[in-house]
Amino acid sequence: MSVRLTIEPVVKFSYPSAKEFTYILQAVAELVDEVAMSVGPQGLKLNALDPGKIALLKVELAPESFEEFSAERELSIGMSIGNLTRVLKHIKKGDRITLAANDEFVEIVLEGTTIRRYKFRNIEVVSEEVPEIEVEYDVEATLLSNALRKAISELSAAADTIGISVKDQNELILFDFDTKKVSYRFTPEAGTLISIDVKKESTVPYDSEFMSKISDILRLATSVDLKYGEEAPLYIEFEVAVGGRVRYYLASKM
C-alpha cells in the first residue's frame, strides 16, 4: 500500500528493508558531505567521490530493485549528509523506507510500528563528472562477500594499512601491511575464493580506513568481484538486488 505524502512527487520509490538501504546510504555518508542521486525512469544512480579523490562509490539500482518505483522524469535529489544522518539513526529493523522528491523538497517516510516522516529542501549539489575507469588489472578474483567483510572489518580495526597479495596463483591474501602479523587467506579449498586470474603477482597497500567504509554495504552481496594491480586502483563490484550494482574504487596507499 502506498504511503501518504505531504508533497507532490516527481519521483518516488520504496525499499522493503530500510535497514538494508541504510547500508548504501551510510557508505555514501562516509565519503561526502552532500550527496546527489539521479533518479529517472531507468532507476537510481549516485556517485560519491571523497574530497581527496582517494575513493569513489558508484551505485546503480534499476526500478526492479524497489518494491515500488515511479519517475515522471529525470530528477536530481540533493541532500546534506547531516540531514541524511538524522534519518539513518532512527531506522529500526523491519522498517520500510519510502523516498519521494520534487524540485523543491525531499520527503522520507519510515514505516514500522510507527510512522516517522522527514522533510528537507532538495538542494543543488555540484558533483564532478566521473568518467568510466578503464585500466589493466594484475589480479582478478571472485570472493565470498561475508569472508571479505570479516577480513576488512577485523584488519581495519587493528591496522592502518591493509595489503593485498597473491600466492601460488590460487590464493588471495589480505594482511596487516605494517606488521605482517595478521592475515586472511582466501582459497578454493576453504570455499572463500570462487575464482582467480593472476596475470602478475602483485602486493599493493591500501588505507584501512577507506577499506572499512564499505564493510557494511558488503552485507548486501553474496559474492564480490575484486580486482587490483600495481598500476590500478582496487576495484570491488557486486550485485545488490535484481538489477542493482555497486562499484567501489580505492587508490593505493603511497
Domain ranges of the chain: 11-121, 139-237
pTM across the whole model: 0.92
User: What is the Cα–Cα distance from 48 to 60, expressed in whole angstroms?
Assistant: 12
Does 1 have pLDDT greater than 60?
no
Tell me the CB-side half-sphere exposure of residue 135, using CA atoms within 13 A: 17
pLDDT given for residue 147 in this prediction: 97
**CATH class of the domain defined by 11-121:** alpha beta
> Residue 111 and residue 21: Cα distance in Å, rounded?
14
Tell me: the pLDDT tens digits for 71-123?
Answer: 999 999 999 988 888 888 888 888 999 999 999 999 999 999 899 999 999 99
* CA–CA gap between residue 10 and residue 238 (Å, rounded): 29
**What pairing do the DSSP bridges indicate for beta strands 244-250 and 55-61?**
antiparallel
Supply the DSSP symbol for 103.
S
Rounded CA separation 247/234 (Å): 10
Instruction: Indicate whether 241 pLDDT > 60.
Output: yes
Mean per-residue pLDDT of the chain: 92
For residues 96 and 15, the answer to whether their CB atoms sit within 8 Å is yes
Q: Indicate the DSSP class of residue 168.
A: T
Q: Where are the beta strands (DSSP E) in the chain?
A: 11-15, 34-40, 43-49, 55-61, 68-71, 75-80, 96-101, 105-111, 115-121, 139-144, 161-167, 171-176, 183-186, 193-198, 204-207, 223-229, 232-239, 244-250
Q: Is pLDDT of 243 > 80?
A: no
pLDDT of 66 > 80? The answer is: yes
Mean pLDDT value across residues 206-231: 95
CA gap 81, 83 in Å, rounded = 5
Assign domain 139-237 to a CATH class.
alpha beta
What's the pLDDT score for residue 128?
A: 67
Residue 242 pLDDT class (50, 70, 90 cuts) = low
Burial 109-139 (b: 16+ CB within 10 A, else e): bbbeeeeeeeebebeebebeeeeeeeeebbb
Report the distance separating Cα 40 and Cα 58, nearest Å.
Answer: 16
Q: What is the mean pLDDT of residues 46-52?
A: 91
In sequence order, what DSSP letters do the residues of 34-101 get, joined into one string?
EEEEEEETTEEEEEEE-TTSSEEEEEEE-GGGSSEEEESS-EEEEEEHHHHHHHHTT--TT-EEEEEE
Average pLDDT over residues 52-61: 94
**What average pLDDT does range 34-43 have in this prediction?**
94
Query: Helix or strand or coil: residue 109?
Result: strand
